[in-house]
Amino acid sequence: MSAHAENLTHDDAHGHDGHGALAENNFLGLPNIKLAMWAFLGSECMFFGSLIGTYFFYHGNSLSGPLPKDVFSIGITSISTFLLLMSSVTMALAVDSMKQQKPSTARNFILATALLGATFVGFQVLEFHEFYTEKHLVFAGPNASLFGSTFYTMTGFHGTHVTVGVIWLVIMSILIQKKKLVPGKEAVNVEVMGLYWHFVDIVWIVIFTFVYLLEFLK
Amino acid sequence: MSHGHEADTLGAHGGHALPHSHKKQYIILGIVLSIVTFIELGIPLFKGVPELWSAAQEVWAPLLIVLSIFKFGAVVGDFMHLRNDLTLYKFLFISPLVLAMFSFFAIGSLSVVHFHPFGKGYAVTAQDLADGYVPPTVGGGADAPLADDKFEAAFADAQKTGFAKGKETFTASCVSCHRADGGGMPGLGVNLTDDCYKHGGKIAALYTTIAKGVSGTAMPAWQTSMDSEKLRQVSYYVRSLKGTNAAGGKECEGAKE
């Protein structure tokens, strides 16, 4: 795959400096990695669309167990929502700093983003723990309810995405720190990570409004 | 929005100007998004003010949806730069997004038709079933199990075939817990061949129990995999087992009928 991409860049005389082919431009003159990320995020729309759709298809049809209003705590979730939203701001600032050739500023913003993201995941772990142990919202098995299964699947996959993002952010900050990733051509790596991160944020914007907030209007 | 930050940069590559910084824009957008989020969070608090709250469904729900669309658009358009980026990227992202929304709303409208998220308000509980509540999907229209006064004729019809259809379904889906002769198994299915019923022995009650399952037990909601005709036929078959008293069957559970 990467050999193929390298051939393309050679053939099109776009230059090749020995770094990863993903950051190279393809025959369209576009960075491979950015094109790949947008295509991936397109498929992610379908993925989360179906998870959220399934949640609503079964909404209000649980035969047993606690119901959304019994378990949701709007206060806690609001705080984590706000933190995730702010992490998008720091992420955008990190990308901007990298483009402005200020790697250490970029690294600091990336670490801030990672910290906000990790806090979000921490809140989610606490939330799941409370739902499971205290409110008896079960994910699977004979005592599971439709609400439990669809809720945990949907928000669990989102939390996993955030976790992957946090790991990516930490690795990226180390690479910048060690000057293994430098501004200029490789700024696109940070930009693409930002695309992923912002996407995870917009998924939460949808889940928070439709799953949490609208629940409290009923 | 051009800012000169050359002083603490690594030194721009000769002749290449740095792209414009959008720092200020991002911070302003962050503040705007925060304000929008606080407004969203404030809406559920209106619950304490009846005059404001009466408009909940008509005004507040659409408002929340509009605000979330605004946030979504702002993050995608500005933080992800899609607004000023290539049409190719827009196509790659927006076309699956639109498809996802189509399927989302298609599934959503189905759930309104076939279920009743706004009807009873909430999930049907085991208590509701015990109280004789028959959900619309089971109790209404062509899907209805035959009322008890029509039971004799329909039961006789099914009897002519030896309850063959119901027995087929029973053999395929029920015997693993209720045993081939309906005698039941310890810890799993109840004895269907005695006169005792935990959730009612009348045909409508049997139908409802089979369709909706029993929470907290191994009895699943068969309406997810059987159509109403199958549910009807298997209800007749189960009704026909009453009083056959299978040898070695489970002890009586529930009330005698």
Q: A42-56, A100-114, B42-56: lowest mean pLDDT where? A: B42-56
The predicted-structure confidence for A148-170, as pLDDT tens digits, reads as follows 899 999 999 999 999 999 999 99
Distance, CA of A115 to CA of A99 (rounded, Å): 22
Q: Which two tokens stand for residue A192?
A: 């693409």
CATH of domain A47-217: 1.20.120.80
The predicted-structure confidence for B151-164, as pLDDT tens digits, reads as follows 666 777 788 888 88
Closest chain A residue by Cα to residue B97: A45
End-to-end Cα distance, chain B: 82
Q: Give me the amino acid identity at B213.
A: G
Q: Which domain holds residue B101?
A: 84-114
Q: A208-217, B19-28, B127-136: lowest mean pLDDT where? A: B127-136
Q: Are residues B226 and B209 in contact, defined by beta-carbon separation less than 8 angstroms? A: no
pLDDT the model gives residue B252: 87
Q: Do residues B102 and B202 both lie within one domain?
A: no
Annotate A109-145 with three-state secondary structure: HHHHHHHHHHHHHHHHHHHHHHHHHHCCCCCCCCCCC
* Domains identified in chain B, total number: 3
Q: Do residues B97 and B141 both lie within one domain?
A: no
pLDDT the model gives residue B127: 55
| B14 is a domain residue | no
The predicted-structure confidence for B68-126, as pLDDT tens digits, reads as follows 999 999 999 999 999 999 999 999 999 999 999 888 777 766 654 444 333 333 444 55
Q: Are residues A31 and A23 in contact, defined by beta-carbon separation less than 8 angstroms? A: yes
| B2 is a domain residue | no
- Assess whether pLDDT exceeds 80 at residue A16: no
Q: Give me the amino acid identity at A165.
A: G
Q: Do residues B51 and B141 both lie within one domain?
A: no
Where are chain A's structural domains? 47-217
Distance, CA of B247 to CA of B250 (rounded, Å): 9
Q: Cβ atoms within 10 A of the Cβ of A55, count?
A: 21
Closest CA of chain B from A72, distance in Å: 13
Verify whether the Cβ–Cβ distance A206 to B72 is below 8 Å: yes
Verify whether the Cβ–Cβ distance B124 to A59 is below 8 Å: no
| B8 is a domain residue | no
List of chain B residues whose C-beta atoms are within 8 Å of the C-beta of residue A78: 37, 41
Q: Do residues B107 and B132 both lie within one domain?
A: no
Distance, CA of A190 to CA of A91 (rounded, Å): 9
Q: Do residues B171 and B144 both lie within one domain?
A: yes
* B92 at A interface, C-beta within 8 A: yes
Choice between A73 and A202, residue whose per-residue pLDDT is larger: A202
pLDDT the model gives residue A170: 97
- Assess whether pLDDT exceeds 90 at residue B25: yes
pLDDT the model gives residue B132: 59
- Of the residues B103, B104, B137, B222, the best mutation for testing chain A's interface (the one with the most A CB atoms within 10 Å of its CB) is B104
- Give how far Cα B40 sits from Cα of A26, A53, B46, B156, Å: 43, 22, 11, 60
Helix (H) or strand (E) holding B255: strand B255-256
| B154 is a domain residue | yes
* B218 at A interface, C-beta within 8 A: yes
Establish, for the pair of chains A and B, how many residue pairs have beta carbons separated by less than 8 Å. 196
> pLDDT tier at B214 (50, 70, 90 boundaries)?
confident
| B212 is a domain residue | yes
Q: Do residues B130 and B238 both lie within one domain?
A: yes
Q: Do residues B103 and B193 both lie within one domain?
A: no
